A and B are shown apart, each in its own frame.
Chain A
Amino acid sequence: MTEKRIPELLVEPNKFCPGCGHGIINRVLAEVLEEMDLAEQAVGSLAVGCACLMMDTFGTDWIQAPHGRAAAVAVGVKRVRPECCVFTYQGDGDSMSIGFSETMYAAIRNENITAILVNNGIFGMTGGQMAPTSLPGQRTTTSPKGRDAELTGQPLNMINQMKQLPIGYLARGSVASAKDINKLKQYIRSAIETQMNGGGYSMVEVLSPCPTNWKMNMESSLAHIENTVKSVFPVGEFVKNGERTDA
C-alpha cells in the first residue's frame, strides 16, 4: 500500500459536489504552498460562489471579499504586507464577469499577487446560469436553448485580454487528466515563484468541470474539457518571467 499523503493545509474534507474540479485545484495549490514553505505566510482572497467553500477547509489566512472584488482586496493586503504570499482564488463568474475590472486592473498595474481563476464555464453556486466563459450553444439556466453568441457575445478569453500586458506570468491549465494536473502544478508553482521573486502579476486560469450544472457525469465532463473546451480555451504558458512565450 502506498501512503495516502494529504497536505496539512487541507484541514477538512472539501465541500464541493462530486466530480467538481475545485477539490483537485485545492490539493495542487496546497501542495505547492507547502513545498515552497509558504503555508505560514500565505493570505488568500476569495469572494462568493463555490470558491468560498474553501474558507473552512483550506487552512491559510483568508479574506472574503464582496462578489468580484477579490483582486482589489488582495492588492490592499499585498501592498501593506509585501512579505506575505497573497493569492486570489475565484471562479469565472466572480473574476471575469462582475469582477472583470478588478481582475484586469490588478494585472494592468502589474500588482505583485497571484490570481487563480477557475473556469468551469458556468455560475456554479447560484445554480448553473450562463457565465462569460460559457461556450456557444451551451445550455444553462439562463440560456436554456444554448448560448447564442449573436446575442451574448463570444466566450471571454482572459488570457487574450492579459497577454499583451507587461506582467510576470500567465498560464492556462486544466484538471482533465493526470498529465494536465501535473502541468497545472508546475504553472501554479511558477506563478507563486514569480510573486515571491517580485516578478509582478501572475495568473493561472484552470479549466475545470462542473458535472452538476453541466448535467454530465465526471468522465464525460473531463472528455468535454479535452475535446471541446480546450479548443476555445487553449492551455499552456503564455507569459513567463515577463516574456511572451507564444509570440
Chain B
Amino acid sequence: MPRRLMKGNDALSEAAVRAGCRFFGGYPITPQSEILEYLSWRLPEAGGTFIQAESELSGINMVYGAAAAGFRAMTSSSGPGYSLLQEGISYIASAELPAVFIDVQRYGSGLGDIFQAQSDYWQATRGGGHGDYRTLVYAPASVQESVDLIQLAFDKADEYRNPCQILSDASIAQMMEPVTLPEMHEHDPNAEWAVRGKHGGDFKRVTSTMYYIEDFDAYIKNKYDVMAEREQRWESVQVEDADLVLVAYGISSRICKEAVKIARAQGIRLGLLRPITLWPFPVKGFAEVNPDVKAYLSVELTSLPKMAEDVKLACEMKAPVEIFLGGAKIPESTAIVERAVSILKEQR
C-alpha cells in the first residue's frame, strides 16, 4: 500500500470507514470537527450514513440505535461534548453493544480551550457515565497509530460486545504524518442479537443485560476482569536498565521518547513506559522495568495529575512516583531531562 500524508483526524476517519464503520452521528466541536467534515462525504460514498446531529446527546443515541441494529457505528467529540456523550456510553455498555467513541482531548474543565491537553483521562478510564462499566481506551501517539488502533477498537468492541474509546488529543489529531491505510473491510451487520425485526424468531430486547443474566454481579465483574487481563498494551523503551522511567501516553510520550534519547546520549539512564491502553492500564509493563529503578516520572499534559495515580498503583510504590505536568504548554524534552536529573540527584 502506498503511504499518504494525512492529518490525524482525516486518517482516523478514513481508517474507521475501512474498518467497516457505516454510521456516524455527531456534532461539531474543535479540535475534532474534521472527523465530521471528512465522514460527511466519505461515509455516503462508502454506502454508509452520516448525520450531523442536533447535539452530542442525540448523536450518541443515534449510534446506540445503529449499533443495536448490528452496524459498526461511532461518534467523536472533545472536552465539553465528551461530557455529554457519557450518558449514552453508559447505556451502550449496559446493553453490551459494540461501538467506538473518539475523544480528541482539549484543555481545561468547563468550556476550557481548544488547544492540546490530556485532561479527560479520568473520564475516559473511570467510566465517566453512571454505574458499573468499563471501556477499552486506546491512546494513539501518532497518526499511523490512530489508524491502527481504531481498527483494533472496532474488532475488540465486537469481541467483547462493549464500547471502545480512542483517547486522542489536539496535537495528534491536527498534525500531518505519512500513513499506510488498511484495505476496505465489510462488516456483517446480522449478528444474532441485532435488532432488525424478529423475522419468525423470538423478539429481541436491547436494554441493560442485567435484566436477563443470572448472577449479573459475577458475570459483569468477570467480563471486565478478562478484558483487564488480556487487553493491556504498552511500548517500553530502554526500561530494563533505567534509573528513572518516564510514563507518558499520546503526544507526551513522543516528547518523552526524545528525552530518553537526549539523556542516554549524556549517559543518563532514562527509560520510557508508554501505555497504549489506558484502561486496562498496562500494569504488566512494569514487570519489565529495572527492579532497582530509583523513580518514575508521570508526564501528563494536565493541570492536575491524573494518570500518576495509576502509575502509583501499577508500580506498587516500590519506587517514588514524581509528576511532571505540562498544563496548557507542551513541555520541551530538555525540561523533562532536567527534571529527571534533579530527581535522580535527590535519590542519591
Binding site for B on A (CB under 8 A): 11, 39-43, 45, 55-56, 59-66, 69, 72-81, 84-85, 101-102, 105, 108-109
In the bound complex, do residue B57 and residue A72 qualify as a contact, i.e. CB atoms below 8 Å apart? yes
Chain A residues within an 8 Å CB radius of B208: 64
- State A217–B200 Cα separation when bound (angstroms): 40
- In the complex formed, the residue of A with least CB distance to B97 is A63
A66 with B69: CB separation less than 8 A:
no
Residue of B at shortest CB range from A85? B197
**Is the CB–CB distance between B199 and A77 below 8 Å?**
no
Cβ of B196 and Cβ of A73 under 8 Å apart? no
Q: Which has the most chain B C-beta neighbours within 10 Å: A55, A62, A80?
A: A80
Contact A60:B198 (CB < 8 A) given known A73-B64, A101-B55: yes
4 smallest CB-CB distances across A and B, nearest first, come from: A76-B65, A41-B197, A72-B61, A64-B207
CB distance from B63 to the nearest CB of A (A): 6
Nearest-Cβ distance from residue A156 to partner chain B, whole angstroms: 18
Asked whether, in the complex, the Cβ of B197 is within 8 Å of the Cβ of A79, the reply is: no
17 A-B residue pairings within 8 Å (CB atoms): A60-B198, A61-B198, A63-B68, A64-B205, A64-B208, A65-B64, A66-B91, A69-B88, A72-B62, A73-B61, A73-B68, A75-B25, A77-B66, A81-B69, A102-B58, A105-B54, A109-B51
**Which residues of chain B come closer than 8 Å to A109, judged between CB atoms?**
51
What residues make up the interface of B, taking CB atoms closer than 8 Å to A? 22-23, 25, 49, 51, 53-55, 57-59, 61-71, 73, 87-88, 91, 95, 189, 195-200, 203-208
Q: In the complex, what distance in Å separates the CA atom of A66 from the CA atom of B64?
A: 10
Give CA–CA (A167, B208) in the complex, Å: 33
- Chain A residues whose CB sits within 8 angstroms of the CB of B206 once the complex forms: 61-64
Q: Would you call B196 and A84 a contact (CB within 8 A)?
A: yes
Contact A65 B61 (CB under 8 A): yes
B230 → chain A, closest Cβ, in Å? 29
Q: Is A79's CB under 8 angstroms from B61's CB?
A: no
Q: Are the CB atoms of A55 and B205 closer together than 8 Å?
A: yes
B197 touches A76 (CB 8 A): no
- Please state if A76 and B73 are interface contacts (CB–CB under 8 Å): yes
A7 to B63, CA, bound (A): 32
Besides A65-B91, A76-B61, A105-B58, 19 new A-B residue pairs in contact (Cβ under 8 A), listed by A number: A40-B200, A41-B196, A59-B203, A60-B197, A63-B195, A63-B207, A65-B61, A65-B65, A66-B61, A66-B88, A72-B25, A72-B64, A75-B25, A75-B51, A76-B62, A77-B68, A79-B49, A79-B62, A80-B23
CA distance A79 to B24 in the complex (A): 11
Interface centre among A64, A74, A109 (most CB of B within 10 A): A64
Expressed in whole angstroms, the minimum distance between the Cβ of B116 and any Cβ of chain A is 30
Contact: B22 with A80, CB < 8 Å? yes
Q: Name the residue of chain B whose CB is nearest to the CB of A65.
A: B61
> Closest approach, in angstroms, between the C-beta of B298 and any C-beta of chain A?
35
* Residue of A with least CB distance to B52: A109
Residues of A within 8 A of B67 (CB): 76
Q: Known interface pairs A79-B49, A80-B71. Does A69 touch B61 (Cβ–Cβ under 8 Å)? A: yes
B287 to chain A, nearest CB (A): 41
Do B58 and A72 touch across chains, with their CB atoms under 8 A apart?
Answer: yes
Given contacts A69-B58, A80-B69, contact A63 B23 (CB under 8 A): no
Inter-subunit contact A61/B196 (CB<8 Å) = yes
B23 & A79 in contact (Cβ 8 Å cutoff):
yes
Give the Cβ gap from A128 to chain B, nearest Cβ, in Å: 25
Q: How far is the CA of A102 from the CA of B57 in the complex (A)?
A: 9
Measured CB to CB, the nearest residue on chain A to B197 is: A41
What residues of chain B lie closer than 8 Å to A76, measured between beta carbons?
23, 25, 61-69, 73
Determine if B88 and A77 form an interchain contact, defined as CB atoms under 8 angstroms apart: no
A42 to B197, Cβ gap below 8 A?
A: yes
Q: Evaluate whether A84 and B197 lie within 8 angstroms (CB atoms) in the complex, with A66-B61, A66-B91 already known.
A: yes
Alpha-carbon distance A72/B53, docked complex (angstroms):
9
CB-contact partner of B189 in A64, A65, A66, A80, under 8 A: A80
What separation, in Å, do the CA atoms of A72 and B65 have in the docked complex?
8
B2 nearest CB across to chain A (Å): 32
Residues of B within 8 A of A65 (CB): 61, 64-65, 91
Q: Are B58 and A77 in contact (CB under 8 A)?
A: no
Chain A proximity of B133: nearest CB distance (Å): 14
Q: Give Cα distance in the complex from A81 to B49, angstroms.
A: 11
Cβ A73 vs Cβ B197 within 8 A: no
What separation, in Å, do the CA atoms of A108 and B154 have in the docked complex? 32
Q: Could you tell me if A81 and B196 are in contact, using CB atoms closer than 8 angstroms?
A: yes
| Chain B residues within an 8 Å CB radius of A39 | 198
Contacts A63-B195, A79-B49, A80-B71 hold; do A101 and B54 have CB atoms under 8 A apart?
Answer: yes
Q: Could you tell me the distance in whole angstroms from the C-beta of B25 to the nearest C-beta in chain A?
A: 7
Chain B nearest CB, measured from A184 CB (Å): 24
Give bound CA distance, A108 to B58, whole Å: 14
CA distance A212 to B204 in the complex (A): 31
Closest A residue by C-beta to B49: A79
Q: Write out the residue numbers on chain B whose beta carbons fall within 8 Å of the beta carbon of A43.
A: 69, 195-197
A79-B51 contact, Cβ under 8 Å, with A61-B196, A74-B65: yes
Are A77 and B195 touching (Cβ within 8 A)?
A: yes
A41 to B66, CA, bound (A): 16
